[in-house]
Amino acid sequence: MTRKQKRMSVVLAGLAFLGAAAGLTFYALGQKASYFYMPADLATASVPPGQRIRLGGLVEKGTIVRGQGATVAFSVTDKQKSVKVTYTGILPDLFREEQGVITEGAFGPDGVFVADSVLAKHDERYMPKEVADGLKAKGVWQESTN
Amino acid sequence: MVETGHFALVLAFALSLVQMLVPLVGARTGNQRLMAVGGPVTVTGFALTALSFAALASAYAGSDFSVASVWENSHSLQPMIYKITGTWGNHEGSMLLWVLILTFFGALVAVLGNNLPATLKANVLAVQGMIGAAFFLFILATSNPFIRLNPAPIEGRDLNPILQDLGLAIHPPMLYLGYVGFSICFSFSVAALIEGRIDASWARWVRPWTLVAWMFLTGGIAMGSYWAYYELGWGGFWFWDPVENASFMPWLAGTALLHSAIVMEKRSALKIWTLLLAILTFSLSLLGTFLVRSGVLTSVHAFATDPARGVFILCILTLFIGGSLALFALRASRLTVGGLFHPISREGALVLNNLFLTTATATVLVGTLYPLALEALTGGKISVGAPFFDLTFGPLMLPLLAIVPFGPLLAWKRGDVIAASQRLMAAFAAAIAAMLVTGLFIDGASVFAALGVGLAVWLVGGALTDLAVKSGFGSVAPAVMLRRLVGLPRSVFGTALAHLGLGLTLLGIVGTLCFGTEKILSMRPGETVELSGHTLRFEGLSPQKGPNFTEDRGRFLLMGADGNADGAITSAKRFYPVRQTVTTESGIRTIGLSQLYLSLGDENNDGSVVVRLWWKPLVTLIWGGGLVMMAGAAVSLLDRRLRVGAPAKRRTPAAALANPT
C-alpha cells in the first residue's frame, strides 16, 4: 500500500467505528429513553403495559396507604386525572401529600403503575421541573405553592 | 469586611480586563514592557479574588445575616465547619470559588512561567484574563454574593441539610480544581493558535497541567460519587444523572488529552489533535458549569433558577467555545503537522485510546443533551438513564479496557504485538483463571460478571506486568531488578498506578453490581434479618438531638457467628426544623473491602419501620481505585522531566558525550 492508501484506510476504519457508535446511540435513544407523562396525558397516549415511562404529578391527598410490609400505594394526580401507583422500597424524604413527585416504572396488566423509583424534590423550595411545567401547562399551577 | 470583599471583586474584574488586553497587545506589537504587565496583574487579581472570597467566608463564619446569600444559606446553630463550607454551598459562593481557582491557576502560570517564551506567556495570561473577565462580570451582574439586606434578618434560613456534610468541604473544591485546571490547557492552546505555532515548550507545559487537572477531577468525581452514595440513602454510586455526566465528560476528554499529550511530547506528532482536545476538554468543563449552574436541570446542584443566569452562562459558553473553535479553523492549517506513524506502536495504541475515549465522550454528550434539545424543540420530555448508557457507553469501554495493558508494552515507532502478548501471558492466565473461578464457583454469577472480573484482573495484571518487564523481571538477578525498578522513570510508575486503579475501580463496580444483594422489609424492635451471611438485629428507634436537628436513630446490632453482638450500625431520619426538611443518614459498616449498607424508611402505623438493607461486595474499591489513579497522576507529576517550572537541564558537552541520546 502506498502512504496515501494507508492513510485512507486508517481514516475509513475510524469513520466506520464512529458510524457504528452513532448507529448504536440512535438505536439506544429510540429504545431506552423513557418518556414523561402526566396522568391526563395517558388518556390520549396509549402506553402498553410493561413499557417504561416516567409518571409525574402531585401525590393526591388521602391516598397514601402503607402497611403491606415495605409496599406503599398512592395516587399521582394532575388535578384532572389520577393514576394509582404502587412502590416497594423507601420513599424519598420529601415525599408528602400534595407534593410533586416523579415515579419511574411501568403499568402492570391491572392498570396500576408499578414504580421502581420515586423522586421527590431535593429541597423544600423546588418542584421537579417536569411536574411544574406540566401543571403550568394544564393551568392548575399556583405560584404560591412553590 | 463585606464591602471590602465586594470592592475587591470589582477591582479584580477591572484587573482582568487589563490582563486580557495589555499583554495581548504587547505580544502582537512585540512590546516587552506591555507583555511584562501580564504577570503582576494576574497575581494581584488572584490576591484580590482571594480577599473577596475570604470576606464572604468570614461573613458566613460570623453568621452575618445582613448579607442575602448568608441569610439564605446559613443558620447560627450550624456547626462551624458547615458555616464555613456553606460559603460555596450556594450558587453565588460557588461561582466565587470558581473564579478564585481560575485566578489561582493564572497566578501559578505567572509565577512559574519564567522560562516560557515571553509572547506565549503573555498570550496565555491574556486568555486566562478573558475567561476571568467573563466570569467576574457574570458574578457581579447576576450572582453577586455581597448583596446586603436592610433590615437585616435575625436568623438565617439554614444550609440545605443534604449539604451539611464533610463532603461539601472536599467535593466542590476538588472538582473545581479539575474543571478549572483545564482552563490552563485551553489558554495554552488558544495562545498557540494566536501565535500560529506550537513550540517545544508548549508540549512540556501542557502535559503537567493536564495531569494536575485530571488528578483533581478524578478525586472530585470519586468523592462526589461516595458522597452521593452515603448521603442520599439510595445505595447507588453512579446514576448517569446529567449533573454527573457534566463532570464525567471533561474527565473522559481529559483522559484522552493526557494520552495524546504524551505522543506529542515524545514524538512531536498529534500536535493539532492535542490542541483541539485541550480546547474541547475545557469547553466540556464550561458546558458542565452551564448545565449545573444555569438551572436547566433539576438536581441537588441547582440552587436557584434564574433565567438571566442561564442565558448569561450560555453566552459565555458560545463565546469561548465558538471563538476558540473558529480560531482553530482559521489557524490550524498554519501549524506544522507531525509525521505519520506505524499503527502498531505505542503512539498507535494511544491514538486508539483517543478514538475510543472521544467517541465515548460523544455518546455521553448525546445522552445528556438530547433530552434538553428535544424539550426545547418539541416540548417532549424524555429521560435518558442507565439503560441508554449501558448500551452505548458500555460497548465502547469494554474493548478499550481490554487493550489497555498492551499500550505501555509496545515500543515507540514500531511495536511488536506478538512480543507484547507473550509478556502478558501471565496476566492473561490470571484473568482467565479469575473468570473461571467466578463463573464456576460463585453462585449466581452471570457471564457478564465473570467477564467483568476477568477484565479487572487483566488490567491489574497488565499494570504489574509493565513494571516487571521494564525492571527486567526474569532476565536479571533479583538485586539488579530491584535496582532497575527503583530507577524507572516516575512516569512509568504513574502509568502503572493509574491503570491499576482503573482495574480496581472496575472490580468494585462489577462486585457491587453483579454480586450485591438487597432486602426491603419492615422490622419491629428485636427482630433479626439475615443478608448474605450477615445477621442484624433491630434494637429500636431512639430520639436524639443535634445542634440544628432532631433525629430518630435506629440501632442495629451486627451479630457474630457465636451469637454475640459484633458492633452496631446506626441509621437515622433527621429532621431539620428551619427548612422543615427530613434527611436519611445511612448506616454503613465496612467489612474488609465490602460494605453493609442500611437505610431507614418510614415508620408504619403498627410501630414497625421500613428498612432497606444492602450487601455491597468490594464496593470500597470503586473509590479506592480512584485514589490509586490520583496517586498515579501525582507520581507522574514528580517526574523530573515534567516538574512544573523546572528549567530544562542544560546539557554540558561532557554530559552530552556521556549520554548520547
Q: Among 2.40.50.140, 2.40.40.20, 1.20.120.1630, 1.10.240.10, name the CATH number for the domain at A35-145.
A: 2.40.50.140
* DSSP-based helix, strand, coil % in chain A, nearest 5: 30, 30, 35
Residue B652's pLDDT band, with cuts at 50, 70 and 90, is very low
3-state secondary structure B291-321: HHHCCCCCCCCCCCCCHHHHHHHHHHHHHHH
Residue B641's pLDDT band, with cuts at 50, 70 and 90, is low
Residues of chain A neighbouring B522 (CB-CB closer than 8 A): 69-70
CB distance B581–A124 less than 8 Å?
yes
Task: Find which of A95, A123, A130, A146 to mutate to test the B interface (most B CBs within 10 Å of its CB).
Answer: A123
Alpha-carbon gap, residue B347 to A69, rounded angstroms:
59
Q: Is A25 on the interface with B (CB under 8 A)?
A: yes
Closest-CA distance of chain A to residue B615, Å:
16
Across the interface, of A24, A93, A129, the residue whose CB is closest to B583 is: A93
Instruction: Lowest mean pLDDT of A104-108, A127-131, B19-23, B651-655, name the range.
Output: B651-655
Instruction: Lowest mean pLDDT of A117-126, B116-125, B244-253, B449-458, name the range.
Output: A117-126
Closest-CA distance of chain A to residue B657, Å:
37
Give the pLDDT of residue B269: 81
Which residue of A lies nearest to B354 if distances are taken between CA atoms? Answer: A14
**What residues have CB less than 8 Å from A16, skipping those under 6 apart?**
none
Across the interface, of A33, A52, A70, the residue whose CB is closest to B601 is: A70
Q: Is A17 on the interface with B (CB under 8 A)?
A: yes
Alpha-carbon gap, residue B34 to B26, rounded angstroms:
5
Question: How many interface pairs between A and B have CB atoms less than 8 angstroms apart?
Answer: 119
| Structure-block grid coordinates of residue B416 | 511488536
Yes or no: say if B47 and B134 are a contact pair by the CB < 8 Å rule: no
3-state secondary structure A64-113: CEEEEEEEEEEEEECCCCEEEEEEECCCCCCCCCCCEEEEEEEECCCCCE
Closest CA to B601 of B523, B528, B518, B517: B523
| Helix runs in B62-144, H state only | 68-73, 80-85, 91-112, 118-142
Matching residue, cell 436592610: B150
Alpha-carbon gap, residue B109 to B206, rounded angstroms:
11
Give the pLDDT of residue B41: 97
Query: What secondary structure does DSSP assign to B533-588, as a single string?
Result: TEEEEEEEEEEEE-SS-EEEEEEEEEE-TTSSEEEEEEEEEEEETTTTEEEEE-EE
Yes or no: say if B204 and B265 are a contact pair by the CB < 8 Å rule: yes
Q: Is A32 on the interface with B (CB under 8 A)?
A: yes
Q: How far apart, in Å, do the first and last CA atoms of chain A sit? A: 68
Q: pTM score > 0.90 for this model?
A: yes
Alpha-carbon gap, residue B470 to B274, rounded angstroms:
27
Across residues B218-238, what is the average pLDDT? 91
Residue B645 pLDDT more than 50? Answer: no
Q: Is A136 on the interface with B (CB under 8 A)?
A: no
Three-class DSSP category at A34:
strand
Give the pLDDT of residue B222: 96
Closest-CA distance of chain A to residue B391, Å:
7
| Structure-block grid coordinates of residue B537 | 438485629
Which residue of B lies nearest to A14 if distances are taken between CA atoms? Answer: B355
Residue A58 pLDDT more than 50? Answer: yes
Alpha-carbon gap, residue B143 to B141, rounded angstroms:
6
CB distance A67–B606 less than 8 Å?
yes
Phi-psi group of A134: left, alpha or beta (phi > 0 → left; psi -120 to 50 → alpha; rest → beta)? alpha
Three-class DSSP category at B198:
coil
pLDDT in tens, B480-523: 888 888 888 899 999 999 999 999 999 999 999 999 999 988 89
Residue A141 pLDDT more than 90? Answer: no
Residue A126 pLDDT more than 60? Answer: no
CB distance A70–B371 less than 8 Å?
no
**What residues have CB less than 8 Å from B299, skipping those under 6 apart?**
A122, B241, B242, B243, B292
pLDDT in tens, B26-55: 999 999 999 999 999 999 999 999 999 999
| Structure-block grid coordinates of residue B89 | 454551598
Across the interface, of A89, A93, A123, the residue whose CB is closest to B160 is: A123
Q: Is A30 on the interface with B (CB under 8 A)?
A: no
Instruction: Lowest mean pLDDT of B39-53, B203-217, B231-245, B608-622, name the range.
Output: B231-245
| Structure-block grid coordinates of residue B640 | 523530573
Residues of chain B neighbouring A88 (CB-CB closer than 8 A): 520
Give the pLDDT of residue B64: 95
CB distance A28–B359 less than 8 Å?
no
Residue B655 pLDDT more than 80? Answer: no
Yes or no: say if B49 and B135 are a contact pair by the CB < 8 Å rule: no
What is the average pLDDT value for chain A, to the nearest integer?
81
Closest-CA distance of chain B to residue A111, Å:
22
Residue B646 pLDDT more than 50? Answer: no
Give the pLDDT of residue B644: 47
Residue B441 pLDDT more than 90? Answer: no
Alpha-carbon gap, residue B580 to A93, rounded angstroms:
11
Three-class DSSP category at A44:
helix
CB distance B602–A66 less than 8 Å?
yes
Matching residue, cell 498529534: B270
- H or E element in which residue B247 lies: helix B242-267
Give the pLDDT of residue B650: 42
Range(s) of chain B covered by CATH 2.60.98? 517-616
Phi-psi group of B268: left, alpha or beta (phi > 0 → left; psi -120 to 50 → alpha; rest → beta)? left
Across residues B343-366, what is the average pLDDT? 92
Closest-CA distance of chain B to residue A109, Å:
23
Residues of chain A neighbouring B395 (CB-CB closer than 8 A): 24
Give the pLDDT of residue B304: 54
> Where exactly are the structural domains of chain A?
1-33, 35-145
pLDDT in tens, B170-227: 999 999 999 999 999 999 999 999 988 887 778 888 899 999 999 999 999 999 999 9
- H or E element in which residue A116 lies: strand A113-119
Q: Which residues of A65-96 are buried (b: 16+ CB within 10 A; e: fewer)?
A: ebeeebebebbbbbbeebbbbbbebbbbbbbb
Higher-pLDDT residue of B422, B649: B422
- H or E element in which residue A36 lies: strand A34-37
Q: What is the largest CA-CA distance in chain B?
A: 88
Closest CA to B556 of B619, B598, B605: B598
CB distance B520–A70 less than 8 Å?
yes
Instruction: Lowest mean pLDDT of B55-69, B351-365, B600-614, name the range.
Output: B600-614
Higher-pLDDT residue of B13, B660: B13
Q: Is A67 on the interface with B (CB under 8 A)?
A: yes
Across residues B318-330, what is the average pLDDT? 94
CB distance A124–B380 less than 8 Å?
no
Q: What is the sign, positive or negative, of the torsion defined by CA atoms of A126, A131, A132, A133?
A: positive
Residue B320 pLDDT more than 90? Answer: yes
Residues of chain A neighbouring B340 (CB-CB closer than 8 A): 3, 6-7
CB distance B391–A27 less than 8 Å?
yes
Q: What would you report as the CA-atom Rg of chain A, rounded to the nearest whole angstrom? A: 22
Give the pLDDT of residue A121: 63
Three-class DSSP category at A114:
strand
CATH code for the domain defined by B517-616: 2.60.98
| Structure-block grid coordinates of residue A120 | 421527590
Across residues B71-75, what is the average pLDDT? 93
Instruction: Lowest mean pLDDT of B104-118, B318-332, B335-349, B580-594, name the range.
Output: B335-349
**What residues have CB less than 8 Å from B439, skipping those under 6 apart?**
B445, B447, B449, B450
Give the pLDDT of residue B74: 94
Residue B625's pLDDT band, with cuts at 50, 70 and 90, is very high
Beta bridge partners of B616: B595
ipTM of the complex in this document: 0.81
Give the pLDDT of residue B408: 92
Closest CA to B224 of B203, B241, B211: B241
Give the pLDDT of residue B661: 36
Across the interface, of A18, A29, A90, the residue whose CB is closest to B388 is: A29
Across residues B135-161, what is the average pLDDT? 93
Residue B653's alpha-carbon distances to A25, B646, B660, in angstroms, are: 58, 21, 10
Q: Is A90 on the interface with B (CB under 8 A)?
A: yes
Closest-CA distance of chain A to residue B535, Å:
19
pLDDT in tens, B444-463: 778 889 999 999 999 999 99
Give the pLDDT of residue B81: 95
Beta bridge partners of B584: B573
Across the interface, of A6, A34, A66, the residue whose CB is closest to B604 is: A66
| Percent residues over pLDDT 70 in chain B | 94
Across the interface, of A10, A90, A129, the residue whose CB is closest to B601 is: A90
Q: Is A89 on the interface with B (CB under 8 A)?
A: yes
Task: Find which of A122, A136, A146 to mutate to test the B interface (most B CBs within 10 Å of its CB).
Answer: A122
Yes or no: say if B283 and B320 are a contact pair by the CB < 8 Å rule: yes
Closest-CA distance of chain A to residue B131, Å:
31
| Percent residues over pLDDT 90 in chain B | 66
pLDDT in tens, B101-147: 999 999 999 999 888 899 999 999 999 999 999 999 999 999 999 99
Q: What would you report as the CA-atom Rg of chain B, rounded to the nearest whole angstrom? A: 27
**What residues have CB less than 8 Å from B309, skipping those under 6 apart?**
B91, B138, B142, B143, B293, B294, B295
Residues of chain B neighbouring A70 (CB-CB closer than 8 A): 520-522, 601, 610, 612
Yes or no: say if B409 and B468 are a contact pair by the CB < 8 Å rule: no
CB distance B355–A35 less than 8 Å?
no
Give the pLDDT of residue B643: 54
CB distance A122–B604 less than 8 Å?
no
Give the pLDDT of residue B301: 59
Alpha-carbon gap, residue B530 to B547, rounded angstroms:
35
Please name the amino acid found at residue B397. M
What phi and psi values does residue A128 have, to the nearest 5 degrees?
A: -55, 135
Cα B595 to chain centroid distance, Å, stands at 24
Closest-CA distance of chain B to residue A50, Å:
15
Residues of chain A neighbouring B160 (CB-CB closer than 8 A): 122-123
| Structure-block grid coordinates of residue A58 | 402531585
| Structure-block grid coordinates of residue B474 | 526474569
CB distance A21–B233 less than 8 Å?
no
Closest-CA distance of chain B to residue A91, Å:
7
Please name the amino acid found at residue A1. M
